[in-house]
Amino acid sequence: MNSKKDIINISAKEAEEALAAIQGVAQKTRHSIASGSAHISLITTGIVWLIGFTATQFLSPPLIIWIWIVTSIIGSALAIFIGIRTGKRVRTASSAVTGKRIAIFWMLLTLFALGIIAVAHPIDGKQITLVIILFAMIGQMGMGLLLSFSATWWTVPVAAVALLGYFLVPDWFYLWMGLLGGGVMIALGLYIHFRW
Amino acid sequence: MSELNETIHQTIRLRVMAALVTLDLGDEVDFTYLRDLLDVTDGNLGAHLRKLEEAGFISVNKTFIERKPRTYVAATDAGRKVFKEHVEALEAILKSK
């Protein structure tokens, strides 16, 4: 084995390679932790939106409600199950405190969204949908900023797609949200998983 | 002046330490996650972790989760300090080029 003196005499090229290796691993680790189960959450939410919104565009109310309930329950259960599994990869010293803060944050955000809907009442289904989507994106952005800045960016294209659909194609808003909103989420989830 | 550390300088150990110091202080990572992240075998990673643990640079915590054994690894304060000095020494070599 080399002595410490031998190692001190490494060349600049070796030092450069070592620093590049360190930087590469650090970046890979940060991205891996930041993306965590985000891609699973995005893909499952995207599929739920794709089915739910497309059904909302074409089907009648009682059936729509059931489709949303069933897809949301399956999607949430899957995301929670996979989230718990992937969450075991890194144990955080402050995970209990962070979990409590996340729960309080979402509870308060839901109350604010309900407050806005109540104040703006009467509003139609499309407006309620858009308010919920925008608040969900604000929430996801908040989570991203709290946990890792690199996980915040995807909320912007999803919110932009929702706003564009609302103003440009109001008659086809639900189909737009299903195909483009859900599609963007699925695409972003696949991108984070395979390319990021 | 910061010095290179012989134990850390080995390629896999350097990459292990780079991954562990990226975590927040007090956070620990699962053995299998680290293995997949660094793309190394169980035996190879285990051997290098032992060396780092013997040097006091990492802590290894064996536990059971849902009746399954799991091994968590974290960088110690000493490990973080030595790794920082190692990186500074590498940067100094590059600057003196």
Q: Please state the three-class secondary structure of A24-61 as a single string.
A: HHHHHHHHHHHHCCHHHHHHHHHHHHHHHHHHHHHCCH
**Domain ranges, ordered by start, for chain B:** 6-95
CA B84 vs CA A21, A42, A59, A114, A194: distances in Å: 15, 36, 61, 49, 31
B89 contacts on A by Cβ (under 8 Å): 8
Integer Cα distance of B73 and B60 in angstroms = 5
| Residue of chain B with shortest Cα separation from A23 | B18
Integer Cα distance of B7 and B52 in angstroms = 7
pLDDT(B27) > 90 = no
Q: Torsion over CA of A135, A137, A141 and A142, rounded to 10 degrees?
A: 20
Residue A36, pLDDT score: 66
Higher pLDDT, A35 or B86: B86
Helix (H) / strand (E) element for B72: namely strand B68-75
Residue B40, pLDDT score: 95
Query: pLDDT tens across B33-67, in order?
Result: 899 999 999 999 999 999 999 999 999 999 887 77
Whether residue B22 and residue A25 make contact (CB cut-off 8 A), yes or no, is yes
Integer Cα distance of A98 and A94 in angstroms = 6
Per-residue pLDDT of chain A (196 residues; tens, 9 = 90+): 444 444 467 888 999 999 999 999 998 888 777 666 677 778 888 999 999 999 999 998 889 989 999 988 888 888 777 777 766 677 766 566 666 777 788 889 889 989 998 998 888 888 988 998 899 888 888 877 766 555 677 788 889 989 999 999 999 999 999 998 889 888 888 887 776 5
Whether residue A25 and residue B25 make contact (CB cut-off 8 A), yes or no, is no
Whether residue A89 and residue B94 make contact (CB cut-off 8 A), yes or no, is no
Residue A4, pLDDT score: 44
Q: pLDDT band for position B76 (50/70/90)?
A: very high
Whether residue B30 and residue A88 make contact (CB cut-off 8 A), yes or no, is yes
pLDDT(B87) > 80 = yes
CB A50 within 8 A of CB A179: yes
* Contact A7/B at CB under 8 A: yes
Q: Give the other-Cβ count within 10 Å of A39's Cβ.
A: 22
Whether residue B27 and residue A3 make contact (CB cut-off 8 A), yes or no, is no
The B-side interface with A (CB below 8 A) comprises 3-6, 9, 11, 14-15, 18-19, 21-30, 32-33, 37-38, 65, 70, 72, 87, 89-91, 93-94, 96-97
Helix (H), strand (E) counts: chain A: 9, 1
Give the closest residue to B23 by CA, choosing from A80, A96, A137, A28.
Answer: A28
CATH class (in words) of the domain with range B6-95: mainly alpha
CB A156 within 8 A of CB A187: no
What are residue B5's phi and psi, to 5 degrees? -110, 130
pLDDT(B79) > 90 = yes
Nearest to A7 among B9, B27, B38 (CB): B9
Whether residue A7 and residue B18 make contact (CB cut-off 8 A), yes or no, is no
* Contact A98/B at CB under 8 A: no
Residue A1, pLDDT score: 40
- What is the ipTM metric for this complex? 0.90
